[in-house]
Amino acid sequence: MKKHLTTLYITSEDAYIRKEHETFVVEVNNQKILQAPVKSIENIVCFGFKAITPALMAFCAENNVGISYLTEYGRFLARVQGAQQGNVLLRKAQYRIADDEAQALAIARPIVAAKVLNCRTLLQRHQRNHPEHCTPELSTAITMLGNRISDISRAQTLDELRGHEGDCASIYFSELSQLIITQKDDFRFTKRTKRPPRDPVNALLSFVYVLLAIDVRSAIETVGLDPYVGFLHRVRPGRPSLALDLMEEFRAYLGDRIMLNVINLKQITSDDFEIQETGEVRLNDNARKIILTAYHKRKQEEIVHPFLEEKMTIGLLPYVQAQLLARYIRGDISSYPPFYIR
């Protein structure tokens, strides 16, 4: 089993990153603030274009350590990656499946079903733990999501499947505000708005989804698949469609739970956001650091994988699912087993 490695997040404007012997070194104003073994780092995520020495960049390229650049507010800009890993025959098989709608559906259906089941599980978890904060509409939404699983399994085209996925997302997001039990006046949520996020909840979701996308894409590249050729999301220039596909399984389980926790535990307040003239809501520096810490801690938690029945950290889940998908594409297993919590 692959070892859980760390993602190094660089947020300081004055950060300088270099390689010293067998370690990464981060300096701020010529002061060493972090030193970590090179074999412990899987990704470097820079908020803004930080100074990285050529020697370190070469090491990252040679050792499959991705370097991602985001704006200071968390919008993805670019990624530096070394030579593509894996067997070209695996990628050729991936492309053939993507070009065959029936075969693509065989992968996309379980992904969408897992996404819906994980959304439903999150609502059910809240219903069990906080019945005093629940309305009849929440129970209705849980029932509707459960009923949609059979529709998803019978979808005959990708467009039909995308329609079911969109309907389920609307049902889920219409009740997500019930899961916010503190600071309700400051964190009102009615619908998902992405470009740009129009309220603090959407700003939190967008930020955590970017972090998740980086991890999923890294996992896909590690097993040798092409992150730009997916089965559910349409292929577009510059769009990591396969990463977006696999992300669907983790949005509620990782992203949405982190958002709810930092709000309900009052780790983040309304003071941690900035409203732009365009109406876009952005996280400030303090909020970004809180989310990064919460995301890192969540990834270190352990679970038993529902399909493999092995104990592992949550941070390994994207890699495990990418590996299972690669095994299915190679023909080693008869179907792709998505990740969902029973």
pTM confidence score:
0.84
Question: What average pLDDT score do residues 117-127 get?
Answer: 94
For residue 158, the model assigns a pLDDT of 96
Instruction: Please say whether the beta carbons of 13 and 48 come within 8 A.
Output: yes
Instruction: Please say whether the beta carbons of 314 and 301 come within 8 A.
Output: yes
In a domain, 214, yes or no: yes
Element containing residue 274 per DSSP (H, E): strand 273-275
Q: Binning pLDDT at 50, 70 and 90, where does residue 110 land?
A: very high
Q: Binning pLDDT at 50, 70 and 90, where does residue 73 land?
A: low
- For tokens 């009849």, the residue is 136
Question: What average pLDDT score do residues 20-42 get?
Answer: 80
**Token output for 242:** 């396969």
Same domain, 96 and 75: no
Same domain, 94 and 43: no
Q: What are the b/e assignments for 26-44, b being 16+ CB within 10 Å?
A: bbeeeeeeeeeebeebbbb
Same domain, 46 and 97: no
Same domain, 74 and 104: no
- For tokens 């990591």, the residue is 240
Same domain, 217 and 105: yes
Question: What average pLDDT score do residues 28-48 get?
Answer: 79
Instruction: Please say whether the beta carbons of 5 and 174 come within 8 A.
Output: no
Same domain, 203 and 272: yes
Q: Which of 80, 106, 138 is the last residue of a domain?
A: 80
- CA gap 331, 160 in Å, rounded: 26
Same domain, 224 and 287: yes
Question: What average pLDDT score do residues 63-72 get?
Answer: 77
DSSP letter, residue 30: T
The domain total for the chain is: 2
Same domain, 248 and 277: yes
Q: What's 238's domain CATH number? A: 1.20.120.920
Domain of residue 232, residue span: 88-117+182-330
**Token output for 96:** 């053939």
Same domain, 106 and 209: yes
pLDDT tens digit sequence for 269-284: 999 998 887 888 989 8
- CA gap 24, 18 in Å, rounded: 6
Same domain, 235 and 103: yes
